[in-house]
Amino acid sequence: MEDSEFEETLQKLSDQVNKFTSTTTVSNTGNTSGRGFMSKINFNSPLVYYGSIPLGIMIVLFLWKPSFITDEVNGDGEIPKQKLVIKKLLIATVILTAVVCIIIFVKVFKKTS
């Protein structure tokens, strides 16, 4: 194939592709939908992964309310109730996050070695 034939073929293919692509830009002002918000998040950032681990652990602990983050509250003649202690929740979240991150680090390091 000569250079001129190559250029012609390239131009034809470029024209065909341009039919399907748009060069207009879409303005995203005033868009409060989740799709607009999600398009601004860089999911390849390590901050997203390292931030989601403690947040996920905290949500699970908050919903599950295990006995090590609650205290029993006794009222006068009432049935004892479990009360969530925020300080214990935060400490448990930090400890579990450290354990999970160490496990992930060891797995990744072991895989690359």
Q: Does 28 fall in a domain?
A: no
Classify residue 72 by its DSSP letter: E
pTM of full prediction above 0.85:
no
Q: Is residue 17 part of a domain?
A: no
Q: Please report whether residue 72 resides in a domain.
A: yes
Tens of pLDDT, residue by residue over 11-41, are: 888 888 887 776 655 554 555 555 666 677 7
Domain containing 91: what range?
A: 33-112
Domain-embedded: residue 44: yes
pLDDT of the residue at 63: 95
Domains of the chain: total: 1
Within a domain: 8 = no
Judged on CB neighbours under 10 Å (0-12, 13-18, 19+), 93 is: buried
Query: Which helix (H) or strand (E) covers residue 33, if one does?
Result: none
Q: pLDDT (tens digit, 9 = 90+) per residue, 42-100?
A: 777 777 777 889 999 999 999 999 999 999 988 888 888 889 999 999 999 999 999 99
Q: Is residue 54 part of a domain?
A: yes
**Residue 74 belongs to a domain:** yes
Q: For residue 95, is it within any domain?
A: yes
Question: How confident is the model over 98-108, as a mean pLDDT?
Answer: 89
